Amino acid sequence: MERDITRDILSGIFIASTKGGACVVDTVLQVSSTKPALISVCVNKNNYTNEMIKKNKKFALSILDTNTNGDIIKTFGFNSSRDIDKFKNFDYIEVDGIKILKDVIGYMVLELVDIVDTETHDIFIGRIIESKRFKTTTPMSYLYYQEHKDELIKVETEEGKTAFVCTVCGYVYYGEELPSNFICPRCGVGSSAFVKK
């Protein structure tokens, strides 16, 4: 099947973190290059990170590189901070009470300046109040993630059951048919982003 045109929108892979929450995001955009710059990120309304950013009004965006351990993507992208302590098995620092992984290219801390309410996601717009670079390695693009995700993340499905796996976030839907209007409850993509296993 021809790949969805949206796959060719170039973007990177990041961790959005805030006090109490953190998740993988690929929807970071520089809104303006004024100093300090405004940056936006789209976070699903169902994600705990969304709730926590609204509560804290401050968040960090950390840039992952192509050497990122797949366990980081699995832990932060396929689980909710409602259920687990995502930082438990990784080295991190704390900046203003916000946990930030050490093994990232660098991070920006942002104060929330606006929220745009869309159907499934909120677009959080923040102003950079602090930033730091740890290394100068190659940022992981969403395209790189798509092309390497079989090595980066191995999604296990229950044996003997027909499963549809979300190629964006690894959510598994069990059933013989995936409804064409199905929306991934974890990351919000449509049924065309699912593959049958």
Ligand X SMILES: Cc1cc2nc3c(=O)[nH]c(=O)nc-3n(C[C@H](O)[C@H](O)[C@H](O)COP(=O)(O)O)c2cc1C
Binding site for ligand X (CB under 6 A): 13, 21, 23-27, 42-44, 47-49, 73, 77-82, 145, 168-169, 186-187
Query: Is 18 or 127 the residue whose CB approaches ligand X more closely?
Result: 18
Shortest distance, CB of residue 26 to ligand X, whole angstroms? 4
Cβ-closest position to ligand X: 77
Query: Is 42 or 108 the residue whose CB approaches ligand X more closely?
Result: 42
Shortest distance, CB of residue 132 to ligand X, whole angstroms? 22
Shortest distance, CB of residue 140 to ligand X, whole angstroms? 9
Query: Is 177 or 190 the residue whose CB approaches ligand X more closely?
Result: 190
**How far, in Å, CA of 126 to CA of 122, rounded?**
12
For 7, 26, 75, 80, 170, the CA distances from 141, given in Å and listed in that order, are 11, 8, 18, 23, 17
Q: In sequence order, what are the residues at sequence separation of 6 or more whose Cβ sits closer than 8 angstroms to the Cβ of residue 166?
A: 172, 173, 184, 186, 187, 189, 193, 194
Shortest distance, CB of residue 165 to ligand X, whole angstroms? 12
Query: Is 60 or 169 the residue whose CB approaches ligand X more closely?
Result: 169
Instruction: Report residue 136 as tokens.
Output: 């100068």
Where in 33-186 does DSSP place strands (E)? 38-44, 58-63, 92-95, 98-101, 106-117, 121-133, 163-166, 172-174
